[in-house]
Amino acid sequence: MSEPIVFQKSPLVQKVAPGTYYWCACGRSAGQPFCDGSHGETGFAPLPVEITEAKTVAWCACKHTKTPPFCDGSHAHLK
C-alpha cells in the first residue's frame, strides 16, 4: 500500500486530555483518528503524539497532511 486511504476530506476536531495518542496514518482504522491495528502489513505505522495540556485539536482525516497528525488543509487539494 503506497498511499493511505482517505477516511474523510475534513479534519476530525476533538477536545483531548493530556496523554499519548496513536494517530492512524493508513486510514484503515475503524476508530478514526486513532490506530486500531488495521494497518497490518501496509507499510504504515501509527504516529505516537504526546499531548501535554487539554486542548482542541484538528486531527487529519485525509491522511495526506504535511504536518501529521494535524490537519494542514491538504484535503482541499485531493481529487
User: Is residue 44 one of the residues assigned to a domain?
Assistant: yes
User: Is residue 13 one of the residues assigned to a domain?
Assistant: yes
Structural domain count, the chain = 1
User: Is residue 75 one of the residues assigned to a domain?
Assistant: no
What average pLDDT does this structure show over 42-64? Answer: 97
Tell me, what's the pLDDT at 1? 63
pLDDT in tens, 20-48: 999 999 999 999 999 999 999 899 999 99
Report the predicted TM-score, pTM, of the whole model to 2 decimal places.
Answer: 0.94
- Note down the domain range covering 51: 1-60
Radius of gyration of the chain (CA): 12
Distance CA(45)–CA(61), nearest Å, equals 15
User: Is residue 74 one of the residues assigned to a domain?
Assistant: no
Percent of the chain with pLDDT over 90: 95
Given the C-alpha cell 499519548, which residue does it identify? 20
Cell of 56: 482542541
User: Is residue 8 one of the residues assigned to a domain?
Assistant: yes
Reply yes or no on whether the pLDDT at 4 is more than 90: yes
